Structure 1
Amino acid sequence: MSMNATQASAFAKEALALISSQFYAGDTPYACGLPMVPVVKTEPGSVPNGNLTPTDDEEGLGMVVSEGLLAIADNVAIKFALAHELGHGISEHVLSKVGLTGASGEATEVIADLNAAYLLNQLGIGWDTVIASISEWRTSQIFDTHKEGDHPPGDHRVKYVKQLRALIVRKVAFNDAARQICQALPDAGTSP
């Protein structure tokens, strides 16, 4: 399958509603001083990619994604990638909630992955389905083979999501699980 921008925006709306209830006590999530809005626009490009960006009216922060991202055959992989981008918008807030204020490096990418996997599960996608989908990252190209900037290699990213699932299954709360995983990263330095 694949998605169009309208379907991706509908998913973003659903995900943002859950983000609001799970992490913001029902309030609108903000990033970069703007409210996060369920607007997904496409740009040319076959490589799956996405970023948060101000909307055309600059009244909110939506997403711009490559046509290649929405063309991925696996809708769970697309949703994971979209939720990852939304996860960047809330990563500072979530890292603060889990006791890692000022965390840097890989933690900023890993927390976005953990947010994405957790959100998908909370939206009714089973852990096994999420893990199976992101494990096929070489096919979907949602991850890089090697470390790129703060992005860990794809195999490591799958490993961290598997660790999250294992902790959640053992009834560890998301915040505690995310802290354990991110704290163990080699460059998760925090500011005093």
Structure 2
Amino acid sequence: MPTSDLVFLAENNPIIPASYDIVWSAIVLLVIGFFFWKFVMPIYTRTMAERTEKIEGGILRAEEAQAKAQAAYEQYNAQLAEARVEASRIREDAQEQGKQIVNEMKVKAQDESDRIIAAGGNQLQAQRQQIVAELRSDLGRTAVDLSEKILGASLSDEVTRSSSIDRFLTELDSVDAGSASKAAK
């Protein structure tokens, strides 16, 4: 194809714009680009920087909050461990005190039991002596009455009566001691 045909095709081609359109479009593009670069880009850059700062600041604050929460959690765990140790110590102290109280109560109960047994023994001994004394006097009167009936004489004399009773009781004690020694054998 000859060159003239190409020029003709270029002039009549709807896809390729005319040269004056290209020049004016380039000038408009440069003016718009200049205004965009001079006025819009600084605003855009500042806005992006602010957003970046807010996001990074939020992340830093979140990290700080997370670090504080972690520290609080560790402090809580440490306090919880201390509380458990303290509770264990208190429980052991309470058990020890309980054992001491039980032992003290046992000692007091044993002392009280010993005191009651001793008092009972003393009272029993006193009653035994009282009963023995009453039995001796009754036995002595009965012996005198029987002796008077057997002898037919009155033993009203106090000295005679007393000596007879004492002799009878002495013989009775010797009989009791002899029967007790035989029973022991």
Is TM (by shorter chain) over 0.5?
no
Structure with greater contact order relative to length (CA < 8 Å, sep ≥ 6): 1
Q: Which has the higher Rg, Structure 1 or Structure 2?
A: 2
TM-score, length of structure 2 as denominator length: 0.18
Which structure features the higher share of strand residues?
1
Which structure features the higher share of helix residues?
2
TM-score, length of structure 1 as denominator length: 0.18
